[in-house]
Chain A
């Protein structure tokens, strides 16, 4: 019985003299949509990369899906999905080829892979485009596809690093529908974003300032705590005090 899917305890990463994330602690439970907010340069991406096993922490402890971020990164990788800021599908492969490739990498059996990719194409309404090169798709489609590929292997957690940058509100809405869908199926969502309306969609939100978590609660709770009408205001009150400049 694992109470929390992600558990961070005083997790710290230092690059030389620069403390990118400073003793952050939090827990995320199964099926939760956890919003991870912060100004540019606050240390979100660093924290996320540590949890994904891409960076070794300097100190502190953390487990993801019950595995230790120091020693069990390979097991962690088997149990998470990841979608980075940079678009990370291969533009010179077709939609279907990308799906098959990533599914195959995660070791999905052939039959399951075939069924999964078909249902995925159907869900996204991409059957027609399945033989098109990913590079030729509009950005919104690419992002929805990336997300679907990231959860293809049914990970316990999926990490989304600013997944909806540069797309219109309609597509963002559709994207969040996919996220809710995944959360209902028991996948824990860990998402960073700059859009405060998206923060409202989260179950709980943490806000990082200068490498520390300054606030952590439900969106409603935060608004009450900071006596603000919107998440925008909450964020502004906290981020205003930041000393670090955006990068």
Chain B
């Protein structure tokens, strides 16, 4: 037991003495937590629209006014030349072009039907899809307005209407930061934990001090604990600062669920992720290797974790990969506890999964860590 204390003292000294690593451990993740959620806003708004109006009639003017008034679109150009508008799409200044044909008003009124053309820059498929459907809906509304004007509609509404009332739970103001902040916090804690552990041990290998430790009577598990505990504590600390200072003060996010539950999960999760770092370190001899291997896995874990894209929409094989990554569970749990106030009963499976990760990764790492060859 005393051995561990000596090991811990040494690790903490080394960590706190290193003036170049320290800011990276503490400041960078927190800085990123402050900045990134502001940047990671995926809401589709501010769609840039260029209108090509060959008609210049009251109708075309009304339609334009209706579109700009909708709040989704920003009219960047209004002209009568399609080529100019298309160039705006090519240079990314416009996302959509709406072309109103000549004689539009007259054709609609006299021949009961006319077409308008919409060209969408579809490289970003989601934005294109949503932009197109918003515009469609506005056109529909406009169409309705015209009809009401020309048809003497009876007072009662003869058309059957299904009125859809929607309510949003857990995040009624639809604040995107509420979704991103817990996720980014989870990723940052994960990256810090796995990297620091993997690199720290491999560094001792590289400079040769590990051999000195190997001839001492230190037990394997003492050594491993001596490495895990400091980073476990740091992970807890960084998470707390992120949760209580940044998330609460800057973004006003107050966890709905139990703090104890959240920390309980974090405690187990950190064990798992530090175990991963440990495992990687047992397979690598140089820091460069450790970094590459850790990065490789972190990248996959991060992309598959549901941080940015929904896991439900993935094909089955990809879902399989996603749930083989501890990060996925952590992000889900942090979001569930913080935003939905989920309780232990809701998270049983997550707890079981993350505990197995912790056990498997650490056991594997300890078995693979050789004091002798």
Contacts and interface: CB of A to CB of B under 8 A. Distances in A.
Interface of A: 52-56, 73-74, 77-78, 80, 82, 84, 86-93, 97, 100-102, 104-107, 159
Interface string B193-231: 000000000000001110111111111000000000000
Contacts of A92: 13-14, 17-18
B199 to A, nearest CB: 14
Contacts of B219: 74
Contacts of B208: 84, 86-88
B217 A78 contact: yes
Contacts of B5: 104
A105 B6 CA distance: 7
Interface string B1-27: 011011101100110011000000000
Nearest to A52: B215
Given A105-B6, A105-B7, A56 B372 contact: yes
Contacts of A105: 3, 6-7, 213, 216-218
Contact of A88 (B209, B371, B372): B209
Contact of A54 (B3, B10, B18, B211): B211
Contact of A86 (B9, B207, B214): B207
B13 A74 contact: no
B3 A93 contact: no
Quick one: which of B5, B6, B215, B373 has the most chain A CB within 10 A? Answer: B215
Contacts of B218: 105
B2 A77 contact: no
Nearest to A86: B208
A152 B321 CA distance: 51
B6 A55 contact: no
Given A77-B215, A89-B209, 5 more contacts: A82-B212, A87-B208, A93-B10, A104-B5, A107-B217
Interface of B is mostly: helix
A226 to B, nearest CB: 34
B17 A101 contact: no
Contact of A90 (B3, B10, B215): B10
A77 B211 contact: no
A78 B216 CA distance: 7
Interface residues of B, number: 26
A104 B3 contact: yes
B139 to A, nearest CB: 68
A82 B212 CA distance: 7
A52 to B, nearest CB: 5
Contacts of A89: 209, 212
Contacts of A88: 208-209, 211-212
A63 B202 CA distance: 31
B10 A101 contact: yes
A54 B6 contact: no
Interface of B: 2-3, 5-7, 9-10, 13-14, 17-18, 207-209, 211-219, 371-373
Contacts of A80: 215
A86 B217 contact: no
A31 B9 CA distance: 35
Contacts of B372: 53-56, 73
A104 B6 contact: yes
Nearest to B9: A101
A84 B215 CA distance: 10
A73 B218 CA distance: 11
A35 B218 CA distance: 28
The 10 A-B pairs with the shortest beta carbon distances in the complex, nearest first, are A86-B208, A104-B6, A88-B212, A82-B215, A77-B217, A78-B217, A101-B10, A52-B215, A105-B216, A88-B209
B200 to A, nearest CB: 12
11 contacts: A52-B215, A54-B215, A56-B372, A73-B371, A73-B372, A77-B217, A86-B207, A90-B10, A101-B6, A102-B216, A107-B2
Contacts of B213: 105
A97 B11 CA distance: 11
B209 A90 contact: yes
Nearest to A53: B372
B164 to A, nearest CB: 64
Contacts of B13: 92-93, 97
Contacts of A74: 217, 219
A84 B211 contact: yes
A97 B211 contact: no
A87 B215 CA distance: 14
Contact of B216 (A97, A100, A106): A106
A50 to B, nearest CB: 9
Nearest to B216: A105
B373 A55 contact: yes
A90 B219 CA distance: 20
Contacts of B7: 105
